[in-house]
Amino acid sequence: MIIKSAKYLISSPDFEKCPKPDMPEYAFIGRSNVGKSSLINMLCNNEKLAKTSSAPGKTQMINHFIINHEWYLVDLPGYGFAKVSLSSRRRWEQMIENYLRKRENLTMVFVLIDARHTPQKIDLEFLNQLDKWQVPFSLVFTKADKETQAIVAKNVKLFLNTMRKTWQFLPRHFVTSAAKKMGKDKILALIGEMNSGE
């Protein structure tokens, strides 16, 4: 699939204020500072589309982008260590949970995992939560250019092996680098397949 147009649409404080659920929707989420905005910008060929920030916790709403006038890309707030008050964090968590569980046109969630690290408990817990809520997801390992290929491969394998202990089936996974545009075609191919109902 080729992205011809990508346009920011709206930021919503909760799922009830999201756009009408009339097109397939793909959400991107990950721990704070996992490289989500950079990945979204790389996928859409637009470095200014999603706001990148070195300060974790920049995304605080549900951000909708309309792609090729035929599907939505959604940038969700990160989970984890953003320096926010406990009450703000609870509010975010509730907002994310409501969106993930109740948004009827949500086709797939791409969960971003930092490929530079060994498996993190917070990521594994979030995946278990998605499983419990029966939300379909794929894994996207980010920042693959920031470490040697050997370390990235080892961390990806370790993560999947950790999942294997409790999961019967493993989700699809992609290894990406926003800087090198790695993984872009494969992710867009999956979205294209799902949009055409293949």
List, in sequence order, every residue forming a beta bridge with 25; answer none if it has no partner: 72, 106
Tell me, what's the pLDDT at 48? 87
Tell me, what's the pLDDT at 80? 72
Q: For the sheet containing 71-75, what is the strand order?
A: 6-12, 62-67, 71-75, 25-30, 106-114, 137-142, 173-175
Tell me, what's the pLDDT at 55? 55
Tell me, what's the pLDDT at 91? 82
Tell me, what's the pLDDT at 198? 58
Measured CA to CA, the distance from residue 79 to residue 33 in angstroms comes to 10
* Helix, strand, or coil (residue 103): coil
Tell me, what's the pLDDT at 56? 54
Cα angle 42, 196, 6 (rounded to 5 degrees) comes to 30
Tell me, what's the pLDDT at 59? 61
Residue 73 Cα distances to 42, 113, 114, 161, 183, angstroms: 13, 18, 20, 29, 17
Report residues of the chain scoring pLDDT below 50. none
6-195 is classed in which CATH architecture? 3-Layer(aba) Sandwich (3.40)
